[in-house]
Amino acid sequence: MVRISVVVPAHNEEEVLPACLAALRSQSISEFELIVVDSASTDRTGEVARAHGAQVVRVERPGLARARQAGFEAASGEIVATTDADSQPPPDWLARLGAALADPEVGGFKRGEAFYGDDETDIRLAFKLRRVGKVVFLPDLLVTTSMRKLSGPHGLRYLFHHIRNYFRLCWLSYGKV
């Protein structure tokens, strides 16, 4: 069995993190390393993660890329998966990722989305992984996540950002992955 590590970057996520960690603890694969990267949180994010049995890595400067990198460096698995603190992966998430990545031709994967990620970081990562090996899309492997980014003062900007990315990728075939 391939060793899997899961990295969850988190900045002030004490309210949403328990649902994410419960979903991860409900995986059909029980043997995996769980790392929560506390990205300069000022709330109880680290305590909540420890209470759910996660290894906690603390970084003193916030930032998603910095947090992911710290988690990747702490991970010991042959496969490293990452999810957001406000997401809830389905019970077969790790099993399906592990099966897809067992193919030596595969350099990475990306699940299908209706909306694509902030600043297109996931999209750029998929294009870079193409240089390493085949990138596999798993369109039916859906991960639920909160709608909090759509509320508040930047909600419309966030929504239009994703609509633009969806249009570019799906309708204009802006770079096939």
Q: What is the pLDDT of residues 94-118, one digit of tens each?
A: 999 888 877 766 655 544 443 444 4
Domain made up of 1-102: CATH architecture: Alpha-Beta Complex (3.90)
DSSP secondary structure, the chain, as one string: ---EEEEEEESS-TTTHHHHHHHHHT-S----EEEEEEES-SSSHHHHHHHTT-EEEEESS--HHHHHHHHHHH---SEEEE--TTEE--TTHHHHHHHHHTSTTEEEEEE--SSPPGGGHHHHHHHHHTTTSEEEEETT---EE--GGGSSTTHHHHHHHHHHHHIIIIIS--S--
pTM of the model: 0.75
Residue ranges of the chain that CATH labels 3.90.550.10 = 1-102
- At 35-84, the pLDDT tens digits run 999 999 999 999 999 999 999 999 999 999 899 999 999 999 988 999 99
